[in-house]
Structure 1
Amino acid sequence: MCDCGGVRSSESGTDTGTDTDTDTDIGTDTGTGTTNGVETGEDYRDAVLSGQRWEGRRFVRCDFTDADLRELTTSGCTFDHCDFTRTDLGESVHRSSAFRTCTFDRTMLGDVSWTGCSLLGSVFVHCGLRTVTLTDCDLTLVSLTDAVLRGTDLSGLRLREANLTGTDLRRANLREADLTGARLAGTTLTDADLRGARLDAPALAAADMSGTRVDVDTAVLFAAAHGLVVN
């Protein structure tokens, strides 16, 4: 277990963590410990770190399983390939931070706020997400299979190539969202708002769109996906 008593900052503290390209040097480092302000392979399992404020910290392949991070505040932090299984992140606030290719399995996410963050390639399994707030975030390649997001505001988010298979998006606000390449097989979009959203025709054909609100362009795509010819 590493020393969790203090808050360790990176030397520069200027990395916003919102770039979707994973740092090459970090990705090839297989050791553990802290080098150049980057914490690699550290064990934070069962650590109590609630209410802390972290700025500019960088974590690679760190294990936060069962850790108490309730009311944590991060700014400009980066988490690459980190494990948040059963972690308590309730009421935490994250600004301009990146959680790239991270695992959120049965993670407590009640009232979590992400603003200007990247969740590129992260996987969410059996997490309560309906009270999560996402503003100006990048969810490219995120996996939300079978997630319940009824009534959630996802407007304007980037969800390119996201796995939304079986996801419950009834009454969700997806206005202006970028769903290009997203997988929507078995996705429920009943009464959702897709006006201004970017989607692919095959994805529309695979989803349940009963009562979905769409604009004219999406309606034409939907018709084409079901073999209709619009003149």
Structure 2
Amino acid sequence: MTTGPTPPTTPPETTIRSQDWYATDLSGRHYSRHAFIDVDLTESTGRGAVFDQCTFRGVRFNVSRHSGSAFTNCTFSHCVFFDTHFSDCKLTGSLFEQCSFSLFEVTGGDWSFVGLPGADLRRASLTGVRMREADFTGARLEEATLTDVDLSGAQLHSANFIRCDLQGSDLSSLDPLTVQLGQATISLEQAAVLMTAMGVNVV
């Protein structure tokens, strides 16, 4: 049974508040149990950075690029992800609350157990990402791209996949009776999986 992500349960040891980190290179930095409040990370970059059990509140990640970095067991609250790219990053166990996503892109990496309930991910691009047991309950994914994504064990109830490209993704946890799939793009193999979930014998 999926229990969802586990955000930090201990208070942060250090708080960084209202700092201008515009275009900062975060490569190789390591933060544990830090709280980032109203920090501007616009156009920041980072390769191999590590954030563990950190809290991000009101942080602007606009036009930032993160590669091979880790944001594990973190909480993102009221953050802005405009034209933000994550490549081969690890975000296991992290939770997103009331964040905004525009031109959002994730390529590769491990986002298992991530919480994105109710997230507005319209037109987002998620490709080749491991998202096992992720929580997409009530998420909006209209016209999004979710190709070759491992969604095994994911919570997808009430999610909106209208006109979403789902080709190559694991849809074994998707109940077509509890989501919106109008005009979504899937393969014949995926269609057979969905039909089986509906109790139809595919021969």
Larger radius of gyration: 1
Corresponding residue for residue 83 of structure 1:
55
The alignment status of 1:130 with 2:102, answered yes or no, reads yes
Shift of 1:197: 1.1
One-letter amino acid of the counterpart of residue 23, structure 2: G
Q: Which of 68, 85, 88 is the aligned partner of 1:116?
A: 88
Letter of the 1:66 partner, please give it. D
The alignment status of 1:143 with 2:115, answered yes or no, reads yes
Between 127-136 and 198-207, the greater mean CA deviation after superposition: 198-207
2:78 is equivalent to residue 106 of structure 1:
yes
- How many Å apart are 1:201 and its aligned residue? 4.8
Write the deviation string for residues 113-162 of structure 1: whole angstroms up to 9, x where unpaired.
Answer: 21111111111112111222212232111111111112221122211111
By relative contact order (CA 8 Å, sep 6+), the higher-ranking structure is: 2
Contact 2:92–2:112, Cα closer than 8 Å, also in 1: yes
What SS does the aligned partner of 1:154 have?
strand
**d(CA) in 1 for partners of 2:173, 2:134:** 15
Q: 1:112 to 1:202 in 2, by over 3 A?
A: closer
Query: Which 5+ residue runs of structure 2 have no aligned equivalent?
Result: 1-7
- Structure 1 distance, partners of 2:71, 2:46, is 11
How many Å separate the matches in 1 of 2:139 and 2:48?
30
Contact 1:67 1:87 in 2 (8 A): yes
Q: Secondary structure at the match of 1:179?
A: coil
Structure with the bigger percentage of helix:
1
CA distance in 1, matches of 2:26, 2:173: 42
Question: Quick check: 1:201–1:222 contact (8 Å CA) kept in 2?
Answer: no
| CA RMSD, 1 decimal | 2.0
Q: Secondary structure at the match of 1:209?
A: coil
Is 1:171 matched up with 2:139?
no
CA contact (8 A) 1:181 1:199 kept: no
Structure with greater proportional strand content: 2
**2:34 paired with 1:62:** yes
User: Any unmatched runs of 5+ in structure 1?
Assistant: 1-26, 32-39
Q: Is the 8 A contact 2:53 2:74 kept in 1?
A: yes
CA 201–162 in structure 1, closer or farther in 2 if over 3 Å, else same: closer
SS of 1:208 mapped into structure 2 = coil
CA distance in 2, matches of 1:222, 1:90: 37
Kept in 1: contact 2:156–2:173 (CA 8 A)? no
Counterpart for residue 192 of structure 1: 164
- Superposition map of 1:27-46 within 5 A: 41-46=13-18
Q: Provide TM-score, normalisation by structure 2.
A: 0.88
